[in-house]
Amino acid sequence: MKTVASFREPYQAHLAKGKLEAEGIPAIVLDEHLVQINWNFSQAIGGVKVQVPEAALDEAREILKADHLEKLSAADEAKLEPAPHEVCPKCGSDSISSHRYSLWSLIPSLLFLLPIFFRRKKWLCNDCGATW
Ligand SMILES: [Zn+2]
């Protein structure tokens, strides 16, 4: 295994590891616990290291160098379908709001030591008034 990158924070190393593994390159994180015990060690030991098999070293460097930000911003958010719970099932409007049960509905449970049943959030369509 060869070190492909080193980071000051363990989470940064894990992000890199995940990125490499998503591209099919096995990777390990080294020295993260040492850094967590005493973060001053991070500088002294050269940071939290990410290692990959020697054969994949060049490819791993390229993957870590690549910036996918452009691809992300190019994705047109307007084209994304709203999640099913974000539209009214009756009229299809996306103008909906949620209403939770008020805390007052908990009082009988508290007074009589009954179990509290948490009901799921309800949604209200602002256009047709449907609830679900
Ligand atoms: Zn509706």
In contact, 120 and 100? CB cutoff 8 Å: no
Please tell me the distance between residue 102's alpha carbon and the centre of ligand 1 in angstroms. 23
What's the pTM value of the predicted model, to 2 decimals? 0.51
What does the domain layout of the chain look like in residue ranges? 2-74, 81-125
- 92 pLDDT tier (thresholds 50, 70, 90): confident
Q: pLDDT of 8-40, one tens digit each?
A: 888 999 999 999 999 999 999 998 888 778 777
Please tell me the distance between residue 11's alpha carbon and the centre of ligand 1 in angstroms. 43
Residues with CB under 5 A from ligand 1 (ion): 88, 90-91, 93, 125, 127-128, 130
The reported pLDDT for the residue numbered 131 is: 85
